[in-house]
Structure 1
Amino acid sequence: MVSKVKVLLWLGHVALPALGLWLLVSRPELDMDYEHHGTHFWLVLTTAAIAMALGVMLFRAARMRRDARLILVSLVFQFSAGFLGLHALATPGVILLTPNAGFVYSVPVGLGLGGIAALASSVEFGPAAAARLHRYAWMLSALPTLLLVVWAVVSMAQFPPLHHAPDPAEAKGPLVGVAFVGSACYLAAAFRYGRQYARRRGVVLLSVLTAFVLLAEALFAVGFSRSWHTSWWEWHVLMLAAFVLISSSAHVQFRREGSALGLFDSVTLHQTMAGLERDYTHALNEMVDALRARAEGGVASTEPLGAVGARLSRRFGLTERQVAVLQQGAHALGSEREQVRRLGLLAAIGERSNVIRGEQELLDEVLHLVSEAFERDRFRLGLVRGRELIFADGGPADLQSSAFPLVVKGSLAGMLEARRARGRFSDTEIAMLRSFADRTSVMLENARLYQQIDGLFRSYMSPTVATALIADPSQAGLGGRIAEVSVLMADLSGFTPFSESSTPEAVVHMLNTYYGVIVPTILDCGGTVVQFVGDAVMAVFNAPAHQPDHALRAACAGLALQRVVAETAIPHPDWPRFRVGVNTGPALVGNIGAQQMRNYTAIGDTTNLAARLESLAEPGTVVIGSLTYAHLGSRAQVRSRGTVTVRGRSEPVTCYVLDGIR
């Protein structure tokens, strides 16, 4: 936004001429007479020459940019310059001996036509309207010349109605009318350009809108001044100031950019500016690609920009200095893009650190990511094993490489080696590589922590549950879901008599020996061991992991359990044997308990019936429920137990002794 102080200062400066005119008109005694035809001639002719030069420059810029607004702004200066020139030529005593109507009316007519063109130029034309205006550009540019020729012939030849000077009272009315209409056009145009300046700053744009205000004041001076008096000379000076202001700002812009091509870009239509921005962005991208090609050997080092630089120079009319600036911008943009790409890969390392995976697998992925970030360099990752730094290729540390330590819990855990074939890493690249090493250290620490937690969890719960909790800790919350599961219940038949006749050490030894073979057997079949209760073990299938063949898995686990128990008990004929019950049905599976302690399990009638079936089994056998048998189908080798009454059930249940699986 433009500051209020600057706006007030600008308003103060442009208001001074209006205050001066008001003072001179209200105090006629101050409006001194000064009639000097030579001074008038050269002052007006100089002003006209400056205005015409601006008009030509603007029209050339309009053709180059194909911009409708610049065409109309050029007409403002062409009308003003042409009629000012005729006003100068009609100066009494230069060509004509006496003043005529052409001398009096040429300036207000020229400024009035310029005001109409200025107001039209402030319109934000759409693409279709702008294209039509540009199509008739030559006709519009010829219009001032045509009007000037007609006016010059009539005025200089003193044809009616321009053959004599009008009476001052007679001329006052038309002059005041033109002053009001033309000034309103200029002020409206200046207001619109001011709104554009608030959105898009530009020295030339500010000069144009200021010049329009000065031309509006000049028209007022034309309408209310007295010939050859101070108020009359004021509008001559105002017009000169307006055109000199634009010329000087254009010169400043030229000195700054070193080229005349973009002097009036800030005045153009929004669509023209948007197209220029697209072109410049495309040029910058081309330059970035050219610099990358040069870095990769695609462009000879003796030709820094290659054909791209020459093509862009011709396309945009760039000077050598501008091409150099563009090259610097391309360097900066290329570096920024490369930095963003590398930061993306660095963020990818951070994402990998939250995934439960093997340590070596993660390190291999880090090595791939850092090699992708620095494509032309060579990297190695080594880990400290037994106080020795070991690299995957088995080679020793490279003393010629840059080394970035991996630190875990304050101790050296490894090393990231980076080597560049030619040259050295920049400070920015070194900082980036340090960040890669730091992220890798965090990832390595997380991986080792996950391994420790995973090992600890697996010591106290089923690996399936442990893996699910580590991957998603939110699953540890209390509650559950209804799912169809197969529940395996197993306990020792005759455990109580054995405990009474054996020492506690012998009982614990027996249980640990049995569970040492039972648990791996259940896990191999995909079961989740949810609890041990003395001599009993419970396992669930189809939770938490989905298993479409959960009934088959549970049945196979029951048979395998009996086989490994029988083999384990061969040296111990006095050890009791297991009874196994398997049942399938819906159950509530999840974390049951309190905030302080909880257990993943399955509860419901399906679990209760599995326990009842287990109590019906003979030692060394497996009893399954009817729904489990239905899931197994013809694959099950069974002996029917018929219908039996079990505790907690009002209706008898059908069960089977499972002898094998086909």
Structure 2
Amino acid sequence: MKRTRTGATLAWTVAVALPLLGLWLLLARPSLDVEWEHHPAHFWLVLAVALTNVTLGVVTSDAARQRADARLFLVSLAFLSSAGFLALHALATPGVLLDAPNTGFVVATPIGLLLAAVFAAASSIELSRGRSAALVRKSRLVVAALLALMAGWAALSLASVPPLDEPLPAEKADGWLLGFAAPGMALYAFAAVRYWLFYRRRPARMLLGVLTAFALLAEAMFAIAVARNWHATWWEWHLLMLAAFGLVAVNARREWREERWSDLYLPGGELEVSVLFADLQGFTSFSESRSTAEVTEVVDTYVRKALPFVQRENGEADKLIGDALMVTFNTHGDQPDHALRAVRAGLAIQRGAAEVTAEHPDWPPLRVGVNSGVVHLGVVGGEGKREFAALGDAINLASRLEGKARPGQVVVGPDTYRVLPDGTEVEPLGSVQVKGKEAPVDAYVVVALPSGSGGRDEALES
């Protein structure tokens, strides 16, 4: 196993070093650094890389928001920033938007790559779940600021604001490009080393793809600084960028479709959440005497009725297993009132279920159980089945408490009851014995929440 890993490391090192060796050869033998000025090829190549980055950025940004994962969000910003400025560079192709080269558009690529390097390096830093969630909560504002920066740079470039009002002489251009390249290469190298350490701890194809992309982007920044326009060295950095982001896209395509980006998530951890279980009493016997179409209609009707109340409280519909619905609250660490949210959702779901049973008195009634406690959040499974899951005794107890509820009731455990607001009206069930627990558990039927925490409309008839 050790020999296999050593061989793979050597092969990876050689593959990443080859572009640098090629660049060195072209610089050492200028006669080999042939010139090929082909504007359409340049435009479409750069545009293809930019579109690849935009796609990666949008997909990873959506996944990051769903999982409140700052690392994945920062990686998405690296994709988006490089894509936006690279698109401006594509527009600098003579004859596309402008008749002559524009200094602002010409230097847009190294600016975008430097900004992407900052995000790449930041993504390699371990963040607590709380800080991660806080950053993702501001994600739309951050993306808006990034887009505004790109639009501002484009406007300044088109307006030819000094020092962008004149073409850069070669000696000045070299200084600008080296000024961007040095910190960019250092940041990409830092990110690549950090991701290599992640990969050593947990070998995963996506981690290897991302660290390889960062290594190639460091090489691209060096090539930008030393290349001659329209020569082989200049085309090389375009191809390095295409290879870097194309590699990530190919790896993403090869990953299992569920939690495709999970290898980039921050490590899972423990968090206090509230869990709601709802299912239909007597559903199994009901199903035996009904057609599959009617059984499906029953479940679909109840779930459709419940989901708006879940969404109103910002809960996450975690699983639907047969007739049982599992909902979690505070999985992003941003709901200190998660127990209250879960109970409010449970009471609202029961009101909606009462409307359903009034229309269909022969359908099985609904029961709800809520429990709060510490769970472990993270990705479980692998190729073929992979999902982000909450695991722990608190979830099992929520399911058992739901089984103790009578039709129309919301039963909560002691940890949930303890944090409900003063004035909550409950009916104690006393200490009840539940499957899987040696000691009895105190349980309560929530009848109504006090005014100001959901209002009188949150009351349930006993």
Question: 2:261 matched to which residue of 1?
Answer: 264
Deviation, 1:191, is: 0.9
Give the distance between the partners of 2:188 and 2:211, measured in 1 at CA. 9
Give the distance between the partners of 1:125 and 1:159, measured in 2 at CA. 39
Q: Relative to 1, partners in 2 of residues 1:115 and 1:300: Cα closer, same or farther, differing over 3 Å?
A: farther
Find out whether 1:201 has 2:208 as its counterpart: no
Question: 2:246 matched to which residue of 1?
Answer: 244
Residue from 76, 79, 82 that aligns with 2:81? 79
Give the distance between the partners of 1:326 and 1:299, measured in 2 at CA. 28
Question: 2:171 matched to which residue of 1?
Answer: 169
Give the distance between the partners of 2:120 and 2:11, measured in 1 at CA. 24
Q: Which amino acid aligns with 2:59?
A: M
Provide, for residues 476-499 of structure 1, a one-character-per-residue CA deviation record: whole Å limited to 9, x for no partner. Answer: xxxxxxxxxxxxxxxxxxxxxxxx
Residue from 62, 68, 71 that aligns with 1:69? 71
Q: Is the 1:90–1:156 Cα contact (8 Å) retained in structure 2? A: no
Deviation, 1:313, is: 10
Q: Is the 2:105–2:154 Cα contact (8 Å) retained in structure 1? A: no
Q: Relative to 1, partners in 2 of residues 1:308 and 1:215: Cα closer, same or farther, differing over 3 Å?
A: same
Question: 2:353 matched to which residue of 1?
Answer: none
Deviation, 1:267, is: 0.4
Give the distance between the partners of 1:13 and 1:313, measured in 2 at CA. 47
Deviation, 1:70, is: 1.1
Give the distance between the partners of 2:324 and 2:173, measured in 1 at CA. 59
Residue from 215, 218, 221 that aligns with 2:217? 215
Question: 2:57 matched to which residue of 1?
Answer: 55
Q: Relative to 1, partners in 2 of residues 1:313 and 1:87: Cα closer, same or farther, differing over 3 Å?
A: farther
Q: Relative to 1, partners in 2 of residues 1:96 and 1:62: Cα closer, same or farther, differing over 3 Å?
A: same
Deviation, 1:298, is: 9.3
Deviation, 1:275, is: 6.4
Give the distance between the partners of 2:71 and 2:80, measured in 1 at CA. 14
Find out whether 1:28 has 2:41 as its counterpart: no
Q: Relative to 1, partners in 2 of residues 1:326 and 1:231: Cα closer, same or farther, differing over 3 Å?
A: closer
Deviation, 1:187, is: 1.3
- Equivalences for residues 20-169 of structure 1 within 5 A: 20-169=22-171
Q: Secondary structure at the match of 1:131?
A: helix
Give the distance between the partners of 1:298 and 1:10, measured in 2 at CA. 60
Q: Relative to 1, partners in 2 of residues 1:6 and 1:97: Cα closer, same or farther, differing over 3 Å?
A: same
Q: Relative to 1, partners in 2 of residues 1:131 and 1:159: Cα closer, same or farther, differing over 3 Å?
A: same
Q: Relative to 1, partners in 2 of residues 1:99 and 1:124: Cα closer, same or farther, differing over 3 Å?
A: same
- Equivalences for residues 181-192 of structure 1 within 5 A: 181-192=183-194
Give the distance between the partners of 1:298 and 1:156, measured in 2 at CA. 70
Q: Secondary structure at the match of 1:270?
A: coil
Give the distance between the partners of 2:241 and 2:206, measured in 1 at CA. 17
Deviation, 1:43, is: 0.6
- Equivalences for residues 364-383 of structure 1 within 5 A: none
Deviation, 1:124, is: 0.4
Q: Is the 1:201–1:266 Cα contact (8 Å) retained in structure 2? A: no
Give the distance between the partners of 2:235 and 2:150, measured in 1 at CA. 23
Q: Is the 2:213–2:248 Cα contact (8 Å) retained in structure 1? A: yes
How high is the sequence identity, in percent, across the aligned residues?
45
Q: Relative to 1, partners in 2 of residues 1:162 and 1:127: Cα closer, same or farther, differing over 3 Å?
A: same
Q: Relative to 1, partners in 2 of residues 1:138 and 1:275: Cα closer, same or farther, differing over 3 Å?
A: farther
Give the distance between the partners of 1:42 and 1:326, measured in 2 at CA. 38
Give the distance between the partners of 2:100 and 2:75, measured in 1 at CA. 34
Give the distance between the partners of 2:132 and 2:9, measured in 1 at CA. 31
Q: Is the 1:225–1:232 Cα contact (8 Å) retained in structure 2? A: yes
Deviation, 1:62, is: 0.6
Q: Relative to 1, partners in 2 of residues 1:309 and 1:153: Cα closer, same or farther, differing over 3 Å?
A: farther
Q: Relative to 1, partners in 2 of residues 1:94 and 1:312: Cα closer, same or farther, differing over 3 Å?
A: farther
Question: 2:416 matched to which residue of 1?
Answer: none
Provide, for residues 212-240 of structure 1, a one-character-per-residue CA deviation record: whole Å limited to 9, x for no partner. Answer: 11111111110111111100000000111
Provide, for residues 6-54 of structure 1, a one-character-per-residue CA deviation record: whole Å limited to 9, x for no partner. Answer: 1111111111111111111122111111111111111101110110110
Deviation, 1:176, is: 1.3
Deviation, 1:252, is: 1.1
Provide, for residues 324-379 of structure 1, a one-character-per-residue CA deviation record: whole Å limited to 9, x for no partner. Answer: x669xxxxxxxxxxxxxxxxxxxxxxxxxxxxxxxxxxxxxxxxxxxxxxxxxxxx
Give the distance between the partners of 1:30 and 1:311, measured in 2 at CA. 69
- Equivalences for residues 290-309 of structure 1 within 5 A: 307-309=320-322
Provide, for residues 53-74 of structure 1, a one-character-per-residue CA deviation record: whole Å limited to 9, x for no partner. Answer: 1001111011011001111111
Q: Is the 1:104–1:165 Cα contact (8 Å) retained in structure 2? A: no
Provide, for residues 156-200 of structure 1, a one-character-per-residue CA deviation record: whole Å limited to 9, x for no partner. Answer: 333332222201111112211211210111111011111111222
Give the distance between the partners of 2:208 and 2:45, measured in 1 at CA. 25
Q: Relative to 1, partners in 2 of residues 1:103 and 1:4: Cα closer, same or farther, differing over 3 Å?
A: same
Question: 1:620 matched to which residue of 2?
Answer: none
Residue from 179, 188, 195 that aligns with 2:181? 179
Deviation, 1:263, is: 1.1
- Equivalences for residues 288-327 of structure 1 within 5 A: 307-309=320-322
Give the distance between the partners of 2:252 and 2:286, measured in 1 at CA. 40
Identify the range of structure 1 (3-12 vs 149-158) with the bigger mean alpha-carbon deviation. 149-158
Provide, for residues 580-612 of structure 1, a one-character-per-residue CA deviation record: whole Å limited to 9, x for no partner. Answer: xxxxxxxxxxxxxxxxxxxxxxxxxxxxxxxxx
Q: Is the 1:91–1:103 Cα contact (8 Å) retained in structure 2? A: no
Provide, for residues 388-443 of structure 1, a one-character-per-residue CA deviation record: whole Å limited to 9, x for no partner. Answer: xxxxxxxxxxxxxxxxxxxxxxxxxxxxxxxxxxxxxxxxxxxxxxxxxxxxxxxx
- Equivalences for residues 534-553 of structure 1 within 5 A: none
Q: Is the 1:205–1:264 Cα contact (8 Å) retained in structure 2? A: no
Q: Secondary structure at the match of 1:35?
A: coil
Deviation, 1:300, is: 5.5
- Equivalences for residues 571-590 of structure 1 within 5 A: none
Q: Secondary structure at the match of 1:3?
A: helix
Runs (4+) off by over 4 Å? 296-304, 309-316
Find out whether 1:235 has 2:232 as its counterpart: no
Q: Is the 1:73–1:117 Cα contact (8 Å) retained in structure 2? A: yes
Q: Secondary structure at the match of 2:95?
A: coil
Any gaps of 5 or more consecutive residues in structure 2? 300-319, 332-380, 387-462
What is the root-mean-square deviation of aligned Cα atoms in Å? 3.3
Give the distance between the partners of 2:112 and 2:146, measured in 1 at CA. 9
